[in-house]
Structures are given as C-alpha cells and as structure tokens.
Amino acid sequence: MLNIPQHLLEQVDGIVFREETDRTVVIQEAMQTYESEHRKSNIRLALQQGYMEMAHINLYLASEAFLAEQEAGGTVDRVVSGV
C-alpha cells in the first residue's frame, strides 16, 4: 500500500491521460528513473572521492615527471649543441 499526496496523484493522472496509459506504468517508470539517477549520483560521488584521495599522488607523479622532462631537455640541448 502506497500513500501518495493528492497533488502528486493528480499529476500522475494527468500523465496517464496524456500518454493513454495507466498509473502502474507511470509509477514504475518514475521509480526506474529515480533508481537510475540515484545510482548515477552514487557513482559520481564515489569517483569524486577517489579523485580527491588520489590527488596528492597524482601531483607527486606529475612533479616527478616534470623534473625528468626538464633533465631530458637539458641533455638533448647539450647533445645537439655539442657541449
């Protein structure tokens, strides 16, 4: 047994009328959409948390790569110039 406020039931009935369907179909579709959006939201939150947790590691790796690229660039410049 579901208790649905009158104003929501009237909106459902409007959809039922426009789409020539029944309440069960409209409510099932609404629940499926809600569940899908809720799942997507949870995935986004988990990804955001993971990226935040990995931020310090990624920053460290990027700074290490930057230093290695700088050293390699200097070596190439010396080889090309013959020094």
Q: What is the pLDDT of residues 49-83, one digit of tens each?
A: 999 999 999 899 888 888 778 777 666 566 556 65
Residue 30 lies in a domain: yes
Residue 43 lies in a domain: yes
DSSP symbol at 36? H
Closest CA to 28 of 10, 12, 11: 12
18-32: pLDDT as tens digits: 999 999 999 999 999
Q: Tell me which H or E stretch contains 65.
A: helix 23-81
Domain count across the chain: 1
Instruction: Write down the pTM of the prediction.
Output: 0.61
Residue 76 lies in a domain: yes
Residue 1 lies in a domain: no
Name the residue range of residue 30's domain.
6-81
